[in-house]
Amino acid sequence: MIATIRSEWIKLRSVRSNVTTTIVAVVIPLAITLLSVTFMRTSGIGENTLSDFVLGTGSIAVLLIGVIGVLCITQEYSQGTIRLTLAATPKRTRVYLAKLVVMALVGALVTGFIILASTTVGSIILESRDVSGPHTGPDSGAAFVAMILMGSLVALLGMAIGTLTRNPPSAITTLVLWPLLVEGIVGALLSLAFEDNVTRWMPFQTGLNSMFAELPEGGFGRWGSLGYFAAWVLLVTVLAERGMKRRDA
Amino acid sequence: MITVDGLTKRYGSTVAVDNLSFSVEPGVVTGFLGPNGSGKSTTMRCMIGLDRMQAGRALFDGKPYSSLRNPLHEVGALLDAGNAHSGRTARNHLRWMAASNGLPAKRVDEVLDIVGLQQVAKKRVGQFSLGMKQRLGIASVLLGDPRVVILDEPANGLDPEGIRWIREMLKHLASQGRAVLVSSHLLSEMALIADELVVIGKGRLIEQCTVDQFISRHARKWVVVRSPQLGTLVDVARAKGMQVATNETTAEFHGVESEIIGELAAANGVVLHELSTQTGSLEDAFLEVTATSVEYHGQSEAAK
């Protein structure tokens, strides 16, 4: 298993597009946060401002991490290396688990790095603008943990969708349209039919909500929301892994 | 050695490989021969567990591929040299494969050296020519120093120099005692590389024999005669029940040895200006055999 994980790690970092996507996933949210705290009026900066920027741009980071998850498996199918992978490791569950471990780590490390870099550098910028601390709100610690877990979960979701479609464009489209379009439309339609707060049943929205410092009303709470999203990721993952085992490579 | 026993693979209602059995011995190159679409690649994919076979089994020294713990140490397979990420360097391509089977990075440099790619080890595979990709593929086959080597159409699209390199490499690998299975749709190519032949058509085994046996059994032979008294000789031969085809200056005698015709001419006082044995090309022999299998297949389909 360790050998398979090592192999998957070499695969991931030896392709430039994977590295580029990872850098973009770090740089975009980091840049938005740092530019904002550099240029916004000091009168508008409160103790939640910096952490709100980090968590708000977190959803961009998380989606881009999902794209890395998609790429890590679809590029194997599009480039034909999946045949070499499965010839080198005939136990397909082991291959899937090794990729899963690598992607979960990458998701957590990327979000963790974004949080660390933006809060550290952001604080320095704010200090230099004579805004005194604390720069992160009291509930931000738990929200940061949720963001790190979301990084891992969305990476795994991207990987699972990629395994099912085997095709980069359709997997990335599914991953991006799901939260942005499908859940929005379905949630809006269901809201017309039911009095109840139905948007909390939308997996992606609920998962992303767990990253807010102040949670929206009527949800499952932070860890409940995260768990609900994780259950969906697990479902898609099981389907993907079983499909990979059954289908011809 | 490899033992394939009753391998059957269907895609929906299409039978790609039909109850195929053959064996591949160590120390020789076994040619896996069949026309395009006859099921060679499907068979190879099933053998190494990439495609699921519906029936039968393929064993490597008695074990199915899926039970091998570190398969690269036992079986080196190259199904398509294009199966490499174009954005990865040659060295990294081999490194992830090596790592998956617990092989050190040192071994990667060794195999790059063997196939002569050490100069371009840090170049991306996307910049490689077909011949270089083929060499990289062979390097990946050699990584685990396997006892069994399987290659699908390794000579396809290569220039003459590349083909000769592959040929010599395969003979070298077999001479080291490895079992080598190499597919091709060209019998002429196989005749140069292989000792043994496994011939298939429409997913079925036609025969397994040595290359020489296959040629002597199937290549057409006939005797060409030029003579001022051609008519006399042809009449005598036909009276003896021989098959003769004539044109203005020569006659072709089928199904007989040149000695018989020579003696027949002498006995009848016929002067010969030419007496020679002609052999049909290997390609003709191969096409003839596989055409029969196609026809047989058609009849069996119609009978259902």
A92-120 pLDDT, tens digit per residue, is 999 999 999 999 999 999 999 999 999 99
Query: What residues contact residue A75 under an 8 Å CB cut-off, 6+ apart?
Result: A15, A17, A18, A81, A168, B85
pLDDT digits (tens, 9 = 90+) for B291-304: 766 544 444 444 43
B102–A87 C-beta distance less than 8 A:
no
CB contact under 8 A, A7 and B80: no
Q: Give the pLDDT score at B188.
A: 78
Residue-level pLDDT at B300: 42
Q: What would the pLDDT profile of B123-178 be if each residue is shown by its tens digit?
A: 999 999 999 999 999 999 999 999 999 999 998 888 888 899 999 999 999 999 99
In chain B, how long is the greatest CA-to-CA distance?
78
Any chain B CB within 8 A of the CB of A90? yes
B86 CB within 8 Å of a chain A CB? yes
What does the radius of gyration of chain B's CA atoms come to, in whole angstroms?
24
CA distances from A184 to A51, A179, A211 (A): 26, 7, 18
* Neighboring chain A residues of B68 at a CB cutoff of 8 Å: 90
Interface test with A, best of B10, B72, B78, B96 (most A CBs within 10 A): B96
pLDDT recorded at residue B185: 84
The more confident residue out of B247 and A228 is A228
Residue B128 has φ and ψ, to the nearest 5°, of -80, 145
Distance (Å, whole) CA B134 – CA B157: 10
Output phi, psi for B220, to 5 deg. -75, 140
* A19 reaches B (C-beta below 8 A): no
What's the pLDDT at A172?
93
A8 contact residues in B (CB cutoff 8 A): 96
Please report the pLDDT score of residue B299 as a whole number. Answer: 43
List of chain A residues whose C-beta atoms are within 8 Å of the C-beta of residue B86: 79
Name the band, by pLDDT with cuts 50, 70 and 90, for residue B41.
very high
Question: Chain B 37-76, CB below 8 Å of chain A: which residues?
Answer: 45, 48-52, 65-68, 71-72
Minimal C-alpha gap between B244 and chain A (Å): 54
- Tell me how far CA of residue B87 lies from CA of A20, A162, B93, B182, in angstroms: 12, 19, 10, 28
- Closest by CA to B104, choosing from B72, B79, B147, is B72
Which residues from chain B sit within 8 angstroms of residue A83, using beta carbons? 45, 50, 79-80, 83
* Closest CB to B92 among A10, A79, A84: A10
Cβ contact A206:A200 at 8 Å: yes
The reply to whether residue B100 touches residue A4, judged by beta carbons under 8 angstroms, is yes
Quick one: DSSP state of residue A2?
Answer: H
